[in-house]
Amino acid sequence: MLSYQHAFHAGNHADVIKHLCWIGVINALKKKDKPFTLFDTHAGAGAYDLTDAMSSKNKEYETGISRLLIDDKGVQDLPNLLADYLSLCEPFLAQQQYPGSPAISAKAKRDGDNLHLMELHPAEFDKLDNNVSRLRTLNSHVHKRDGYEGLRALTPPKPNRGAILIDPPYERVNEYSDLVKGVEQVFKRWQQAQIVVWYPLLSERAGAKSGASEAMCEKLAAMGKPCFKAEICVEENTADAGMYGSGVFVLNPPWQLDTNLKSALESVVGMLGENEAGYHATAHVTWINEDN
């Protein structure tokens, strides 16, 4: 099934927490001169036109990235990670676009670092290829292939430094177990991989998918790697809420990512404020397996 298109959700609260975390990982890798490699298993279109029919349908960006926009002077008073995120987004937003993780990766990495972007959806792949070409960044590679197959073929990278973003659409229930299997396979070849997994928080209305993210995170934690999760909730978890929030599960996180992400999210929830029902956004960062 290849029906999911992220443009319907571009710039929403889920993108905010996912991309904040991913930029934090890239920033940590850039602290050393040695090059690194980034992998994106479900890359999508790369960048999204906020004025097109899909993005305009629900305008989810209005309760996400749009609430974080402040003047340049205000950026100076924000936590560094949030300021980096908004600075990277600003040129895209000025053109009524939102940068997906491929655009964020391409802009945040250095010329000597490698980027591998995997996407199977035919229409999304064509958009991804065009968008990445327009960015004119060195060593950014676009693959029309299954993301987990791509990881098996391309890891471990040389030199042995880098990170993986796994962000499936979770249209099918078995995508949760596919992800766990994919991560297990990576660690058999690349023990040092830093892995960021995005996941939805779903209410009872989601049926079999309700609780699937939590069960998946337990299986990821059982692999024994240092790991923490960060979650943001924008609605109360009532039976019919649907997706009331989302999270990132980070395995082998870089030093201080948890602290930087927590600080950024504290500012984010204050800026997101309340939804129409009066629920105020919340966020938390929780260590699962402490890094000894």
**Active-site amino acid positions:** 167
Neighbours of 283 (CB within 10 A): 24
User: Quick one: tokens of 236?
Assistant: 């109360």
Per DSSP, what are the bridge partners of residue 161?
none
| CA end-to-end span of the chain | 41
CA atoms of 246 and 234, how far apart (whole Å): 9
Q: Where are the alpha helices (DSSP H) in the chain?
A: 13-29, 53-58, 72-75, 80-93, 101-108, 122-135, 147-154, 174-189, 212-221, 257-272
Tally the C-alpha atoms within 13 A of residue 48's C-alpha that lie toward its C-beta.
26
